[in-house]
Amino acid sequence: MQENALKESGGLSRRVLDASDLVLRCERHLLSSLMGLLIVLVLLNVVTRYGGFPLYWVDEASVYCVVWLTFIGASAMTRLRLDFAVTLLTDKLGARAVRVAKASASGGVLLLGLALLAMCWLWMDPAGIVRHGFDAKEFAAESFNFLYTERTQTLDWPTWVVQLILPIFALTLSVHALANLFEDLGLQPKRTHDEFHVANADAVN
């Protein structure tokens, strides 16, 4: 029975790492696409301003592009273990204590991701908007949550579409943190991600 439990645990942890790798590949393509889009927007902004016919929506689009880049990049950096860490204490600890510290740090990131996911669920209240038949005005009148009625200033996009990056980030952060935790606990060997052309940081997390 214990052997079966170990096999199930190993299978679960392997599937989590596979899911994390899939998310990381998607994030890599998204980062490249958004960087290209940002360059185009900046150049378009320069050309139209010098030409005397500025497109004001370009500024807002650039800001949202940077916001999405920031959250997607932060998620990817978590899996690559390139997030910030203070190693003043762990540099003086033994190997076993360092493993415990790494696992604790990954567990803390996982708790943060899950807490953020729960907060996004309460804030966006998808069950509530469905219960009101996707009627944003009726939902806002009853809940005083105006997320689904607001629109961006110049692009005139629904605000909730732009802010979808928050629950997406919470979900991907949780998946990456769980994958890191399984590696730190020794349930799976640590994987490398050579396609990012970066070295894993030798830090607590």
Q: Looking at residue 203, what is its pLDDT?
A: 43
Q: Looking at residue 194, what is its pLDDT?
A: 78
- Which pairs count as long-range contacts for 74-77, CB under 8 Å and 24+ apart, including other chains? 74/169, 74/173, 75/23, 75/27, 75/169, 75/172, 75/173, 75/176, 76/24, 76/27, 76/28, 76/31, 76/176, 76/196
Q: How far apart are CA 134 and CA 145, in angstroms?
A: 13
Q: Which residues of the chain have pLDDT under 70?
A: 1-10, 197-205
Q: How far is CA 52 from CA 47, 60, 108, 123, in A?
A: 9, 18, 51, 42
Would you list the domain boundaries of the chain?
2-187
**pLDDT per residue as tens digits for the range 7-16:** 555 688 899 9
Q: Which two tokens stand for residue 62?
A: 């650039």
Q: Looking at residue 84, what is its pLDDT?
A: 74
Q: Looking at residue 2, what is its pLDDT?
A: 45
Question: CB-based contacts of 87: which residues, under 8 Å, 6+ apart?
Answer: 202, 203, 204
**pLDDT per residue as tens digits for the range 80-128:** 988 777 777 777 777 788 888 888 999 999 999 999 999 999 999 999 9
Q: How far apart are CA 84 and CA 86, in angstroms?
A: 7
Q: Looking at residue 170, what is its pLDDT?
A: 97
